[in-house]
């Protein structure tokens, strides 16, 4: 990208979020976001929480009370650091599982070695909306009496066959944060397969996430800011300029948004934000269908570049149809990935990193993540060093997308 492009063009967001309309912002109308999401997902019931992270805290707290002798939570070594913070918030122990080579699926041999009588839950993750192999995880987890919690934070709308991801595991959660498709700025959707477990989740949610006016006023103001600025004319101010400030300091962790506060807000979502979510949700199916068509077309274009691999749904999952907030590209090696990052990240073209490191390699989270030897987690660490994200926002037009492809071709 040229310096002229940096100065004159708007910034493409890193993922494809659903823009809000003025008509979404009224106070009156249906505020049953839980019911609307349950119908959309095909679940018997959904709990609306204040974030995907708070949903995970409620889920882990519930399971821990049901099986207090179990203390370990197994998660992918390459995932959002908020997962580690949620586990620590619940006073549980984290275990990092390696991935299969050049894959987002958990490695079955590594997972089997980690699972035992102390395992409380395993968290397979549909990273970037790509469907991962959860069926094999369920077999290994249930063999030792552990629960499976599907981390579908980035995968609202992803399906296996005609069923949403998350419906066949014990618990699942989706994020309603910025950039995840449907958003109420921060929010989460929590569901469980068993009616008894759903009741326990409701009880824990009422205990841990009571109404808090201060937090809800803050989130409401942030949602209004999103409605105003999440458009081509506002993204430079809201996203592009802060990103470039962090990149200028050489702080990739802050630039990627991986510098999370250890405090996890827990509160009830207010009526107005729930009503906004209901109105926006009516447009989500069409938005997802358009994103899927665009994502498949662009994935084919990227896959045609020699040396690049586009991360797809797990080949082990028949009928997988992930959502497409972003396209994830595996560069030939770390050097070519870093070269592409240096030229494209911050250029306003929607190229970024999903996460900068594996959980074991963030110094800021050493207190909540177990140390891993240099030779440990080889597949996850290789993925972290080679992975690049390309936005699937409709605002990344064909001309600019082709520029990205040409530069990636040179870097590869």
DSSP 48-111: EES-HHHHHHHHHHHHHHH-TT--EEEEESSS-HHHHHHHHHTT-EEEEEPBPTTSSSBPHHHH
Q: What angle do CA 143, 86, 260 make, to 5 degrees?
A: 140
User: Would you tell me how many other CB atoms lie within 10 Å of the CB of residue 42?
Assistant: 13
pLDDT confidence tier of residue 9, bands split at 50, 70 and 90: confident
State the virtual CA torsion across 294, 99, 105, 191 in degrees, nearest 10.
-100
CA distances from 174 to 2, 136, 271 (A): 38, 21, 19
Q: Give the span between the Cα atoms of 287 and 59, in whole angstroms.
A: 29
Model confidence over 251-278: pLDDT tens digits? 999 999 999 999 999 999 999 999 999 9
Q: Give the span between the Cα atoms of 105 and 98, in whole angstroms.
A: 9
Which region among 2-11, 203-212, 243-252 has the lowest average model confidence (pLDDT)? 2-11
The share of the chain scoring above pLDDT 70, in percent, equals 98
Which region among 3-7, 105-109, 173-177, 233-237 has the lowest average model confidence (pLDDT)? 3-7
393-410: average pLDDT: 96
Among 2.170.120.12, 3.40.640.10, 3.40.50.2300, 1.10.10.60, name the CATH number for the domain at 22-213: 3.40.640.10
Contacts for 285 with CB less than 8 Å, ≥ 6 apart: 40, 157
Q: Which pLDDT does position 3 carry in this prediction?
A: 42
CA distances from 300 to 295, 309, 312 (A): 9, 10, 11
Q: Which pLDDT does position 10 carry in this prediction?
A: 87
H-state helical runs in 104-234 = 108-114, 135-143, 195-208, 213-229
Model confidence over 85-144: pLDDT tens digits? 999 999 999 999 999 999 999 999 999 999 999 999 999 999 999 999 999 999 999 999
The HSE-up count of residue 342 (CA atoms within 13 Å, CB side) is: 8
The share of the chain scoring above pLDDT 90, in percent, equals 97
Contacts for 268 with CB less than 8 Å, ≥ 6 apart: 50, 209, 210, 211, 212, 216
Tokens of 325: 């907030």
Domain boundaries defined on the chain: 22-213
**The whole model's pTM is what?**
0.96
Phi and psi for 407 in degrees, rounded to 5?
-70, -40
Whether 140 contacts 100, CB under 8 Å: no
What single-letter DSSP state applies at residue 16? -
User: Would you tell me how many other CB atoms lie within 10 Å of the CB of residue 91?
Assistant: 10
Measured on CA atoms in the order 245, 250, 251, 255, is the torsion positive or negative? positive
Model confidence over 200-241: pLDDT tens digits? 999 999 999 999 999 999 999 999 999 999 999 899 999 999
Tokens of 131: 């469907």
Helix (H, G, I), strand (E, B) or coil at 397: coil
Tokens of 337: 């990935």
53-70: average pLDDT: 98
Q: Which pLDDT does position 4 carry in this prediction?
A: 38
pLDDT greater than 70 at residue 1: no
Q: Give the span between the Cα atoms of 340 and 344, in whole angstroms.
A: 6
Q: Give the span between the Cα atoms of 28 and 394, in whole angstroms.
A: 30
Contacts for 263 with CB less than 8 Å, ≥ 6 apart: none
pLDDT greater than 80 at residue 6: no
Q: Give the span between the Cα atoms of 295 and 386, in whole angstroms.
A: 20
Tokens of 381: 């660490």
354-375: average pLDDT: 97
**Long-range contacts of the stretch 293-298 (C-beta < 8 A, 24+):** 294/324, 294/392, 294/394, 295/324, 295/327, 295/392, 296/324, 298/327, 298/390, 298/392, 298/401
363-374: average pLDDT: 96
Residue with tokens 């103001």: 221
Model confidence over 49-60: pLDDT tens digits? 999 999 999 999
Question: At what angle are helices 195-208 and 52-66 packed, to 10 degrees?
Answer: 110
How high is the mean pLDDT of the chain? Answer: 96
pLDDT greater than 60 at residue 318: yes
pLDDT greater than 60 at residue 7: no
Q: Give the span between the Cα atoms of 380 and 227, in whole angstroms.
A: 36
Q: Which pLDDT does position 333 carry in this prediction?
A: 98
């Amino acid at each position: 990208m040229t310096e002229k492009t940096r100065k004159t063009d708007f910034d493409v967001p890193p993922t494809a979020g659903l823009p809000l309309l003025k008509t979404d912002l009224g106070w009156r109308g249906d505020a049953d976001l839980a019911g609307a999401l349950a119908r959309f997902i095909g679940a018997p019931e959904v709990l609306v929480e204040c974030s995907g992270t708070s949903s995970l805290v409620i889920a882990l707290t519930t399971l821990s009370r049901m099986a207090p002798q179990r203390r370990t939570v197994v998660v992918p070594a390459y995932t959002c650091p908020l997962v580690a913070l949620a586990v620590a918030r619940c006073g549980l122990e984290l275990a990092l599982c390696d991935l299969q080579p050049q894959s987002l699926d958990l490695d079955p041999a590594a997972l089997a070695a980690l699972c035992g009588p102390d395992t409380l839950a395993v968290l397979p993750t549909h990273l970037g909306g790509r469907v991962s192999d959860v069926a094999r995880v369920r077999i290994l987890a249930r063999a030792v009496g552990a629960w499976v919690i599907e981390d579908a934070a980035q995968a609202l709308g992803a399906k296996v066959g005609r069923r949403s991801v998350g419906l066949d595991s014990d618990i699942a959660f989706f994020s309603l944060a910025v950039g995840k498709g449907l958003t109420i700025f921060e929010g989460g959707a929590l569901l469980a397969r068993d009616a008894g477990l759903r009741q326990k989740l409701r009880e824990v949610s009422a205990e841990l996430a009571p109404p808090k006016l201060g937090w809800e006023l803050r989130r409401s103001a942030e949602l209004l800011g999103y409605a105003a600025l999440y458009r081509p004319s506002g993204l430079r101010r809201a996203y592009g300029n802060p990103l470039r400030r962090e990149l200028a300091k050489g702080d990739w962790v802050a630039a990627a948004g991986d510098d999370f506060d250890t405090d996890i807000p827990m509160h009830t979502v207010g009526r107005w934000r729930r009503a906004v979510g209901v109105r926006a949700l009516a447009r989500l199916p069409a938005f997802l269908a358009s994103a899927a068509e665009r994502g498949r077309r662009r994935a084919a274009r990227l896959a045609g570049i020699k040396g690049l691999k586009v991360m797809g749904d797990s080949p082990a999952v028949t009928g997988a149809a992930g959502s497409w907030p972003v396209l994830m590209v595996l560069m030939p090696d770390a050097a070519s990935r870093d070269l592409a990052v240096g030229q494209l990240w911050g250029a306003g073209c929607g190229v970024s990193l999903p996460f900068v490191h594996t959980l074991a390699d963030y110094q800021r989270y050493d207190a909540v993540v177990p140390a891993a030897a240099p030779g440990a987690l080889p597949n996850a660490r290789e993925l972290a060093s080679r992975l690049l994200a390309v936005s699937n926002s409709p605002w990344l037009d064909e001309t600019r997308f082709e520029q990205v492809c040409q530069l990636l071709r040179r870097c590869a």
